[in-house]
């Protein structure tokens, strides 16, 4: 199993026109490639949702932006994620959902996002919702991550990880089983933020990065026969005082 790009090929990546055009082309070429298969719940109407994996440049460093979900939310509190959510009846399509959620969560306008492509849809945890991932590039460089405002009702904080770190094989060695499926994915441990990128977010990002970089399996990584790879078990998120959360949201 060769899940990651070789480090020399991922070194010195720049989100310039050439890279963005390459990413668009490769995502389009594999647009109809089924990278994984999951059965959806047939007892309930299938709902739709969308997420946006935001590429960005922070202090000149090509990176990916993440949110940490607010501790006030009912589901997935304190987890690292991409901006996204359920499709509203007023959304023209799932792309509109992803861009709307991006603006609602971190106040980045759809006009400032160059959509690069999409990835194979995924089910949510109980398989009652079809989650469509999109990949976009934030056109305006970010001088300081503290400049990114966010909605404290939905987001606890915002952080970025340099693309070179995400592609570093040493950062992708901790494999976890995706739910109870046959698939595995890397868990990214973010020491600087005291958290980990895992679950649906990590599964999507792993597939997108391998698709853009043309390295590793075409589809999702399948657990080798006989390998004892278990699901990732995160620590419970710490409770964040309301006052502290409000203060962070006012940045």
Residue 238 has a pLDDT of: 54
Residue 2 has a pLDDT of: 41
CB atoms within 10 A of CB 120: 21
Edge-to-edge strand ranges of the sheet holding 221-222 = 175-177, 183-186, 221-222
Residue 216 has a pLDDT of: 80
Residue 159 has a pLDDT of: 96
All residue ranges of the chain with pLDDT < 70 are: 1-11, 71-77, 236-251
Quote the pTM value: 0.87
Query: Three-state SS across the chain?
Result: CCCCCCHHHHCCCCCCHHHHHHHHHHHHHCCCCCCCCCCCCCCCCCEEEEEEEEEEEECCEEEEEEEEECCCCCCCCCCEECCEEECCCCCCCHHHHHHHHHHHHHCCCHHHEEEEEECCCEECCCCCEEEEEEEEEECCCECCHHHCCCCCCCEEEEEEEEHHHHHCHHHHCCEEECCCCCEEEECEEECCCCEEECHHHHHHHHHHHHHHHCCCCCCCEECCCCCCCCECCCCCCCCCCHHHHHHHHCC
C-alpha span between 146 and 152 (Å, rounded): 14
Q: Calculate the alpha carbon distances from 34 to 119, 123, 206 in Å.
A: 9, 14, 15
Tell me: the pLDDT tens digits for 39-80?
A: 898 888 899 999 999 999 999 999 999 999 876 656 656 789
Show the tokens assigned to 224: 């080798």
Dmax over Cα atoms in the chain, in whole Å? 50
C-alpha span between 81 and 69 (Å, rounded): 7
Residue with tokens 């868990």: 187
Residue 31 has a pLDDT of: 81
């Amino acid at each position: 199993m060769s899940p990651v790009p070789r480090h020399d090929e991922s070194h010195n990546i720049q989100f310039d026109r050439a890279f963005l055009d390459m990413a668009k082309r490769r995502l389009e070429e594999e647009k109809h490639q089924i990278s994984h298969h999951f059965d959806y719940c047939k007892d309930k109407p299938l709902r739709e949702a969308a997420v946006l994996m935001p590429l960005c440049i922070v202090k000149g460093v090509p990176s990916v932006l993440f949110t940490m979900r607010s501790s006030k939310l009912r589901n997935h509190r304190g987890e690292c994620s991409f901006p996204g959510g359920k499709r509203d009846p007023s959304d023209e399509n799932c792309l509109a959902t992803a861009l709307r959620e991006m603006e609602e969560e971190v106040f980045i306008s759809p006009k400032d996002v160059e959509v690069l492509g999409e990835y194979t849809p995924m089910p949510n945890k109980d398989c009652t919702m079809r989650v469509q991932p999109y990949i976009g590039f934030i056109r305006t460089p970010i001088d300081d991550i503290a400049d990114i405002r966010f909605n404290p009702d939905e987001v606890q904080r915002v952080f970025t990880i340099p693309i070179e770190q995400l592609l570093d094989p040493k950062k992708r060695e901790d494999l976890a089983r995706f739910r109870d499926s046959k698939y595995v994915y890397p868990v990214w441990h973010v020491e600087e933020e005291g958290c980990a990128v895992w679950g649906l977010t990590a599964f999507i990002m792993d597939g997108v990065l391998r698709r853009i970089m043309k390295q590793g399996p075409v589809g999702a990584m399948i657990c080798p026969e006989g390998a004892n790879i278990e699901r990732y078990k995160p620590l419970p998120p710490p409770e964040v005082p309301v006052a502290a959360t409000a203060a962070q949201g006012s940045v």
